[in-house]
Each structure stands twice: as structure tokens, then as C-alpha cells.
Amino acid sequence: MLSRYYEFYLPLKINAGQDALETLGWEMQQLGAGKPIIVTDQGIVKAGLLDIFLSTQKASGLDLSVIYDRVPSDSSIDVVNEVVNIYQKSGCDSLIAIGGGSVIDTAKGANILISHGGQDLRRLMGVDRLTATQMCPLIVIPTTSGTGSEATLVAVISDSERGVKLPFVSYKLVPRLAILDPRMTQSLPSGLTAATGMDALTHSIEAYTCLQKNPISDAFAWSAIELIRDYLIRAVEKGSDRQARLAMANASLMAGIAFSNSMVGAVHAIGHSLGAVAHVHHGTAMAILLPYVMEMNIERLGELYARLLLPLAGEQVYLSTPSGQRAKKAIDVVHELNHKLHELSGMPITLSQAGLREEQIPEVVQKALNDGAMSTNPIDLTGKQIEQILRKAM
């Protein structure tokens, strides 16, 4: 199964390593920038991560005096406008996002307005609507390992006035530089480490099996799965394990590259809906749904799942499993991983544990059917099948 035509674009420089933060000054010089606005949130400040970052920049020569540290957990148009106002009043020349998905999306949203002018993000909403030939330099320093936003072409910004989420999709949104430094993820609590890690695993498996898969995104997805297999449990068991943290940061970024250049599928479609209807955390929804959606997709995707047993479980398990049972075994491995993560971190493994109520199921089904990610799932799931998945996962 191969898409008849594909595009792959990766204009992102990646600096990854134990002392990667110290490369920022030189990189900013190369970009012709010296006065960024730092976009972050209170969680990052309270966890001491902003201080860690600033302490590594003493010799950088950068002016880091402009800081916006109030991004909420759901980025919004108002917050984007505030960031842009401060950026312009302070005479900044670049953006540095330090945080997880919401912070990074806010910085991407600010970049749209800074680079296009104006105050109304809504007019640029949608796919390939950005016209600026030059975007403002955006540097991303992720503090979770899951969303992959540091490598993706997508931003989702809430329009709280109208109660909707606005999607922005354009290759122009891919940041200029991602810095992966384990000092920025090692304080992430074990439950979030587990759930965000499963988000990265879902990006990889859906990228590898969706209708827009291609040989290059496959390579990134495959390597990300191997890293998650070897390091996710380690990172959950011992957050201060810098090698495991760095490996997970790499896995998350590679999974982001994979799905940004292919797509995702039904796990994300149903997960988005669970987030909207029952406020289920995205990574947790991914973890819980992934094996059940794989069970539903197995007839069409059995061959690909069988192949994925190799990166998921390693050579020994792959070779000792009869070829006819490998697809089913791959799903078992995901179930087992979830149980292990639950044991270690308390990550929910049923939807009722995650807060879904029986009576919300019809609404979740309806919203999932209309989600864009459903269109690249290899089989067209019916409402009844989605309901089956949800009930199995309750």
C-alpha cells in the first residue's frame, strides 16, 4: 500500500543532546536574530524550567528580557493577540516557544500574525492559506515528549468567543529550529510521561498505516517506535534518566515528522472527539484507544501490523511469533504496554477511568465521524464500529 503521489518537506534544523540548549546563541546569530519573545506557561515557570533555560544562556549574548509566561492549557486567539502586541511593542525579532502543545501552537499562531500583519487570525484559518514569503524565525524547545508539534505543520487555536477550535495547516508553520535537551523534560511527572509517550507511539503507528503513508515517513515512524519500545518505560520509571528522556524527545520529534508528512487516522479522530466532549487528555485517549482501533483495522492492516511487531517488540519476539499471529501479537504488545504504564504511573487504561460517561458516547461517535483524521483511516469506520470501540474501551 503506497500513496500514488506524496510530498515530504522538512525545513527544520534539529539540535539534540545533553547540552543542546547552549547552542541557541550561535543558532540565533545564524538566523540574524537577537531579541526573541519567549512564549511559555506557568507550569514551566513553577517547575523551574524557565530558570534552567535562562541559566544556560548567560554567555549567549541574547536579549532574553521579553517573556510571555501565561499561555493557558488551551491556546486561544486572545492569547495569540497578546503575545503579538508584546512582541511588536518590545521590538522583538524572533519567537522561542518553551513548553508543550499549547505553548507551541500559541507561538505558531503568533508567527502567523507577525508574518502576515493584521489582528484577525480567523481569516487565515484552514489549509495552505498562509501567503507570507518570509516567516519570523521560530525556535521550539519542547518540555513534553509526545505532541511532536516542534516538527509539524499544524497549529490549533481556540476561538473562545465562538466555542470552536481553528486549525491552521501550512508548511510555513514548521519551526526553524527544535532544541531537544533532556534537562527540559526530566521533571515531567510519570503519568504525563506515559500518556504523551503513547501519543508519540500513536503518531508513529497511524503514520505507518494511514492512506498517505510514504517511504520517508515510514522510516521516521519505524525508528520512533524502536526508541519508544526501548525507552518509554525507563523514562516513566526514572524521570531523571537523561538518556531515556533524550531518546523519548527524539522519538516524539520523529513521530511528529512522520505524521506531519503523511497523516493520522481513527485513533486521533475519536481522540479529538473525546477531548471535545469529555475533556479526556489527548495522550491518555490515544493510549486507551490505540489497541482497540488496531483490532478494528486488523482485517485491512494485518500485514502492516505484522511488520510493526519488529520495532514494537524486537527481533526475538518477532522471530518466535508465527507469521500468521504477528499482527495480533503487535496489538497484544500495545495492550501490555498500557497495563505496564498504568501500573507504574497510574495512567488510565479505560475510558471510564479517564472520565467518559456512558451517556456521552453517542455525541463522541457523531463528532468522531466528522473529524478530518477519519478520512485517512484505511477503513471507513461506521458509527456502529466507533461505538463498539468506545464500549470495549470503557
- Site residues, Fe ion (CB under 5 A): 199
Least CB distance from residue 202 to Fe ion, whole Å?
A: 6
Bridge partners of residue 158, in order along the sequence: 76, 165
Cα R_g (the chain), whole angstroms: 20
53 or 259: CB nearest Fe ion: 259
What is the rounded CA–CA span in Å between residue 258 and residue 64? 33
Strand-pairing partners, residue 97, are 39, 140
Write the single-letter amino acid at 211: L
What residue number has its CB nearest to Fe ion?
199
**Cβ closer to Fe ion: 170 or 202?**
202
Q: Based on CB atoms, which residue is closest to Fe ion, 100 or 109?
A: 100
Smallest distance from Fe ion to CB 159, Å: 21
Q: What residue type is 359 in one-letter code?
A: E
Q: How far is the CB of 338 from Fe ion (least distance, A)?
A: 16
Whichever of 287 and 306 has its CB closer to Fe ion, that residue is 287
Instruction: Please give the single-letter amino acid code of residue 226.
Output: E
Q: Give helix 266-278 / helix 361-369 axis angle, nearest 10°.
A: 130
Least gap, CB of 368 to Fe ion (angstroms): 14
Q: How many CB atoms lie within 10 A of CB 387?
A: 16
24 or 373, CB closer to Fe ion? 373
**Nearest-approach distance from CB 283 to Fe ion, in angstroms:** 7
Nearer to Fe ion, 56 or 260 (CB): 260
The nearest distance, CB 280 to Fe ion, in angstroms, is 12
Residue with cell 471507513: 380
In the complex with Fe ion, the residue whose CB is nearer, 93 or 199, is 199
Rounded to a whole number of angstroms, the minimum distance from the CB of residue 142 to Fe ion is 14
Most distant CA pair in the chain: distance in Å?
Answer: 65
Alpha carbons 138 and 175: distance in angstroms, whole number: 5
Q: Which three cell numbers stand for residue 285?
A: 485517549
Other beta carbons less than 10 A from residue 353's beta carbon: 15
* Shortest Å distance, C-beta 286 to Fe ion: 6
Q: Distance from CA of residue 97 to its chain's centroid?
A: 14
Helices 190-209 and 326-345: crossing angle in degrees, nearest 10, is 160
| Residue 109, phi then psi, degrees to nearest 5 | -60, -45
User: d(Cα 213, Cα 216) in Å, to the nearest integer?
Assistant: 8
Contact predicate 233/190, CB 8 Å: no
Give min distance, CB of 359 to Fe ion, in A: 26
User: Is the Cβ of residue 23 or residue 377 nearer to Fe ion in the bound state?
Assistant: 377
Q: Which is nearer to Fe ion, 252 or 321 (CB)?
A: 252
Please report the beta strands in the chain, taking only residues with DSSP state E, as ranges in sequence order: 13-16, 36-39, 67-68, 94-99, 126-127, 138-142, 154-159, 164-169, 177-180
